[in-house]
C-alpha cells in the first residue's frame, strides 16, 4: 500500500490545522497575519504550521507520490509511474 500524503502530520488534529493554514495561504492567498486573525492563533503558530506543512509535502513528493483526491475528497498518494 502506498503511503498517505498525510503520514507526516499525526495526530489528525495536527493534520487539519496544517492543511487549513497551507490552503488559506496558497489557495486563497491570505497572508500569515490574516490567517492568524481568521483562526484565532498567534502569528508564530501560523508560521510554524506553514513551515511544517511545506516540509511534509516536500517529503511526500520526494517519496515519488502522485497526489490526487479519492471519491471522498481525501488526498491520497499513488506511486509515480
CATH assignment of 12-79, given 1.10.490.10, 1.10.10.10, 3.30.70.380, 2.40.30.10? Answer: 1.10.10.10
Q: Has this prediction a pTM greater than 0.95?
A: no
pLDDT: which is higher, 11 or 61: 61
Name the H helices within the chain. 12-22, 32-39, 43-62
- Cα distances from 24 to residues 45, 55, 64, in angstroms, run 14, 17, 25
pLDDT in tens, 14-73: 678 888 999 999 889 999 999 999 999 999 999 999 999 888 888 777 777 777 787 877
Q: What is the pLDDT of residue 44?
A: 98
Q: How many CA atoms lie within 13 A of 37 on its CB side?
A: 5
The band of 9, judged by pLDDT with boundaries at 50, 70 and 90, is: low
- Alpha carbon of residue 75 to chain centroid: 10
Q: What are phi and psi of 28, to 5 degrees?
A: -110, 0
Q: What is the pLDDT of residue 70?
A: 78
Amino acid at each position: 500500500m502506498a503511503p498517505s500524503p498525510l503520514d507526516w502530520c499525526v495526530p489528525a488534529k495536527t493534520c487539519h490545522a496544517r492543511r487549513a493554514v497551507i490552503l488559506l495561504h496558497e489557495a486563497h492567498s491570505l497572508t500569515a497575519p490574516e490567517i492568524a486573525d481568521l483562526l484565532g492563533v498567534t502569528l508564530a503558530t501560523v508560521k510554524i504550521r506553514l513551515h511544517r506543512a511545506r516540509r511534509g509535502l516536500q517529503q511526500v513528493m520526494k517519496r515519488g507520490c502522485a497526489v490526487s483526491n479519492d471519491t471522498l475528497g481525501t488526498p491520497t498518494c499513488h506511486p509515480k509511474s
